[in-house]
Structure 1
Amino acid sequence: MSHSTLRRRFAAGLTALATAAGLIVGAPALVGAQATEQGSSASLGSAGSSAPPPPAPAFRPAGGDENPVGFRNWLRPGCEWDPVASWVQLCTVHSPSMNRPIKVQVQPARFGGNAGLYLLDGLRARDDWNAWTHDAQAQRIFLQDNITLVMPVGGQVSFYSDWERPINLGGNLLEYKYETFLTQELPNYLADHFGVRRDNNAIAGLSMGGSAAAALAAKHPDQFKQVSVFSGYMNPTAPGMYTMIPLAMFDQCRCDPFAMWGLPGSPRWGENDPLLNAAKLRDIPMYVTAGSAIPGQYDQPSSLQAVFNTFNGIILEGLSRGSTLAFQNTMNAAPNKAIFEYRTTGIHGWGYWNDDLIAARSAQILNVMNAHAWAGY
């Protein structure tokens, strides 16, 4: 099957799924154009265009001293200063399970605190930086806080899980063992060089990364004490998602998506479905968001391509909102510690996720992790 045929089927599938969900009526088929992310191609990653994404809203933390007590001003082993500044280091960490070095952007805690916050990227994660430092401003949002930001680089289409078979990326067979890396290998490095405790972490992500954050927290509650999900796909075993997720993955990687969890219906799909693991998440504080799929302040398309991308973003956010509502209904069947916030406007895009991270920081992350600036005094 040609790439153009698969792309047309993927786009048509988006429209059909959205129409069936009542998100759009009489929508034209999404064919012919090639969308790329706001950072990525329109997919279960994030929506946008091939042009640079609109800047995330400025966030100005109180106070101007970026390094008040000196816990950030030296390079750890395997690290160099990252161009995004704000004391972010770009570190190279060897992964035995993947048999190669993995890059991680790290911003040390302001006062040397032992809490960590893992920030997971979207489906089209790049190999040179984590989009939380470019399409959003995570390093500025937590600049004054006593928590170490941990931002893995790479892992496109991975869902941050351990794949059943190697992934073929451009003719290169690579082991994808991101769950092992994030829960067994990276914590040792962070403990040794950044003072992050293995059992004192939060985890957050958008879209693919949001779904993965919830799944990892459910499976590793000894590591993750809080989880934030922004526009995640919270029920990948729902009707239609068995088709949409593999098509979205193939659209990005031109690889075999069933090398991840096996064929649709295989047990590992359920193991990585947040809704099916709701019982394991009820004791973990969660901050979960989704937009309304109505264009908002960050959606001002000025070209035909941008209009197309906005339309895809509307559909993707509608799918996310539907699965988030289903997840909330399941969670609320018993007492839980989750906060659900539904934006009145907003599609699948980084401006909104930047706002979500700011809100999650204030509403839950700093409190749960005891990571306020004063916690360092």
Structure 2
Amino acid sequence: MAFINCDFFSETLGFSTSMSVILPQETKRQIGMEGSKKKEKYPTLYLLHGLSDDNTIWMRRTSIERYVADLGIAVVMPNVSRGYYTDMAKGYKYFEFVSEELIDLAQSFFPLSDKREDNFVAGLSMGGYGAFKLALARPEKFSAAASLSGSLDMASRVLEIPKEDAMRCEFENIFGDLHKLKGSNNDLFYLADKLIESDLPKPRLYQCCGTEDFLYKDNIEFKKYIEEKDIFDYTYEEGPGTHEWGYWDSKIKSVLKWINQ
């Protein structure tokens, strides 16, 4: 495998940022690794970080490079800071960046497929929200999305934060009036409803969460909603686990297996 830290300028954000990229490499002599066969254009997993992290975190906390070594897929890990994969009310256009510019740049820099069936997105916590948001809002680009311990019911969650809490102010900078988040393009439930009513393709969805995770309630609410609609090809898994990297390192292997079904 090849691992590349790519620094580049974003026209959308107006500043330099980074993405980390894993590319398949056909190898015969690398000890402990099976290299995949070279393809002209590689299927790609866009792998998203959580609120406190950046584009390097999946490589630092999991064995993602080893897990994809024999699968023949590339992995693109962007940096969106604390922007919640959202065009911020007071800040930067992180959703436009990750859903448009990042993909175009990654496909121009590296041998990545632009076919919908070859493009997937996954993430943890904030990145789980981002993964489902990208797939539901841009279903023509992604054939499958996976959320690991995702912040999925944001419209309810943000209103539970005390007004004097610094996180409340941060979310207001991101989403604007928090009472208007429900039913907006930043509400996953609303995005799913819009997609169901449209003729656009429906992405496959995978969702998992530990039963001791503080976001478990969010995940149960979204699970109930999706299952009631009975429209999506939907997989849900739960079991013992909290909001930590041991759980996510284990579950990303399940995601990769699910993607390749």
Q: TM-score, normalised by structure 1?
A: 0.59
- Give yes or no for the alignment of 1:185 onto 2:101: yes
The match for 2:159 is: 242
Instruction: Give the partner amino acid of 2:238.
Output: Y
CA contact (8 A) 2:133 2:191 kept: yes
Q: Which residue, out of 120, 135, 147, partners 2:61?
A: 135
CA distance in 2, matches of 1:353, 1:228: 12
Q: Identity of paired residues, percent?
A: 23
CA distance in 1, matches of 2:89, 2:163: 15
Cα pair distance change 1:269/1:263, threshold 3 Å: farther
- Give yes or no for the alignment of 1:160 onto 2:72: no
- Give yes or no for the alignment of 1:366 onto 2:260: yes
1:130 CA displacement: 2.4
Aligned residues: 240
CA contact (8 A) 2:155 2:181 kept: no
CA contact (8 A) 2:182 2:190 kept: no
CA distance in 2, matches of 1:196, 1:243: 41
Cα pair distance change 1:247/1:271, threshold 3 Å: farther
Deviations 1:15-49 (A, max 9, x none): xxxxxxxxxxxxxxxxxxxxxxxxxxxxxxxxxxx
1:351 CA displacement: 0.7
The match for 2:33 is: none
Q: Which residue, out of 227, 232, 236, partners 1:336?
A: 232
CA distance in 1, matches of 2:143, 2:68: 18
CA distance in 2, matches of 1:324, 1:272: 16
CA distance in 2, matches of 1:137, 1:123: 20
Q: Which residue, out of 175, 196, 199, partners 1:261?
A: 175
Deviations 1:183-203 (A, max 9, x none): 221222222221223333100
The match for 1:287 is: 206
The match for 2:241 is: 346
The match for 1:33 is: none
Q: CA RMSD in A?
A: 2.4
Equivalent residue runs for 1:1-377 within 5 Å: 86-110=1-25, 111-112=38-39, 113-126=41-54, 129-153=55-79, 155-166=80-91, 176-198=92-114, 199=116, 200-238=118-156, 240-244=157-161, 250=166, 256-267=170-181, 270-279=184-193, 280=195, 283-293=202-212, 317-318=213-214, 320-333=215-228, 334-343=230-239, 345-362=240-257, 364-367=258-261
Which has the larger share of strand? 2
1:245 CA displacement: 9.8
CA distance in 2, matches of 1:287, 1:194: 27
Deviations 1:285-332 (A, max 9, x none): 111001110xxxxxxxxxxxxxxxxxxxxxxx14x2211111111111
CA distance in 2, matches of 1:237, 1:139: 35
CA distance in 2, matches of 1:207, 1:246: 22
CA distance in 1, matches of 2:209, 2:142: 22
Cα pair distance change 1:103/1:230, threshold 3 Å: same
1:226 CA displacement: 0.6
1:150 CA displacement: 0.3
The match for 2:30 is: none
CA distance in 2, matches of 1:161, 1:197: 25
Q: TM-score, normalised by structure 2?
A: 0.83
1:159 CA displacement: 0.8
CA distance in 2, matches of 1:257, 1:186: 24
CA contact (8 A) 1:234 1:324 kept: yes
* Structure 1: runs of 5+ lacking an equivalent: 1-85, 167-175, 294-316, 368-377
1:266 CA displacement: 2.1
CA distance in 1, matches of 2:163, 2:253: 31
Match of 1:237, SS state, is helix
CA contact (8 A) 1:93 1:186 kept: no
Cα pair distance change 1:245/1:342, threshold 3 Å: farther
Deviations 1:262-293 (A, max 9, x none): 01122577322223333337921111001110
Cα pair distance change 1:357/1:120, threshold 3 Å: same
Instruction: Give the partner amino acid of 1:190.
Output: A
CA contact (8 A) 1:203 1:213 kept: yes
